[in-house]
């Protein structure tokens, strides 16, 4: 015997309430938090591995490293429950530890640089500025650097083994 529209509506409402109760149950929230926390730690580890690989790819001659970016830049937010019932965690670069002042102040138009983006994309400095240091513009990592893929490499490696219910969104903003 077919169900009446009223019965179907009651079943749908009860199913929706049960689903919402499950989504916001302590067990579901704790499970989601644990999964996302573990996945965020894996992403942090992959990013740190790429940063370490970049640092190991050369030894500077014209300057001494501070290792500030290498050691103090990656952060993870707490896991939060969003209004739609999904969960979120952010893995990000600390803006203060990831911003480089650039060439000395006497160089005009010297905006600060976001180190992860600079390393990922590379850079070229005007030869006038690099000549102040007695070096040619082609000096790797000073006047010119082709880039070292940190973000995409780590994300692609993560995507190969991520938890099936986790999605990832990469943004520079």
Angle value at C-alpha 93, between 55 and 151, nearest 5 degrees: 60
Whether 168 maps to a domain, the answer reads: no
Q: What is the pTM of this model?
A: 0.75
Residue 171 has pLDDT above 90, yes or no: no
Domain assignment of residue 169, yes or no: no
pLDDT, average across residues 113-129 = 78
What is the Cα 46 distance to its own chain's centre?
10
pLDDT digits (tens, 9 = 90+) for 42-82: 999 999 999 999 999 888 877 788 888 899 889 999 998 88
Q: Hey, what are 154's tokens? A: 């780590």
Window from 63-77, 127-141, 155-169 with minimum mean pLDDT? 127-141
Count Cα neighbours of 73 within 13 Å in the Cβ-side half-sphere: 23
Answer whether 100's CB lies under 8 Å from 123's CB: no
Please give the residue range of the domain that contains residue 116. Answer: 5-161
Q: What is the pLDDT of residue 106?
A: 46
pLDDT of residue 137: 47
171 lies in a domain?
no
Give the per-residue pLDDT at 138.
52
Is 117 inside a domain boundary?
A: yes
Q: Is 73 exposed, middle or buried (0-12, 13-18, 19+ CB in 10 A)?
A: buried
With beta carbons less than 8 A apart as the criterion, state whether 151 and 116 touch: yes
Q: What does the pLDDT read at residue 144?
A: 73
Residue 33 token pair: 């938090």
Nearest CA among 40, 61, 75 for reference residue 141: 61
- Of 85 and 1, the structure prediction assigns the larger pLDDT to 85
Give me the chain's average pLDDT, please: 78
Nearest-5° Cα angle at 96, 94 to 139 = 100
CA distances from 123 to 46, 116, 137 (A): 24, 12, 11
Q: What share of the chain is helix, strand, coil (3-state, %, to 5)?
A: 45, 10, 45
Asked whether residue 170 is domain-assigned, the answer is no
Domain count, the chain: 1
């Amino acid at each position: 015997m077919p169900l009446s529209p009223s019965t179907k509506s009651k079943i749908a409402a009860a199913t929706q309430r049960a689903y919402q109760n499950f989504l916001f149950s302590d067990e579901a929230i704790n499970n989601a938090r644990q999964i996302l926390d573990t996945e965020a730690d894996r992403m942090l580890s992959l990013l740190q591995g790429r940063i370490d690989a970049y640092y190991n790819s050369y030894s500077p001659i014209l300057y001494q490293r501070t290792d500030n970016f290498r050691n103090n830049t990656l952060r993870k937010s707490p896991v939060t429950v969003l209004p739609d019932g999904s969960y979120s965690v952010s893995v990000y670069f600390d803006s203060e530890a990831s911003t480089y002042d650039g060439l000395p102040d006497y160089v005009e138009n010297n905006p600060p640089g976001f180190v992860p983006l600079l390393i990922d994309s590379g850079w070229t400095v005007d030869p006038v500025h690099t000549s102040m240091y007695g070096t040619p513009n082609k000096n790797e990592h000073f006047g010119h650097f082709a880039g070292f893929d940190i973000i995409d490499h780590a994300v692609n490696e993560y995507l190969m083994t991520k938890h099936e219910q986790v999605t990832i969104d990469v943004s520079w903003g």
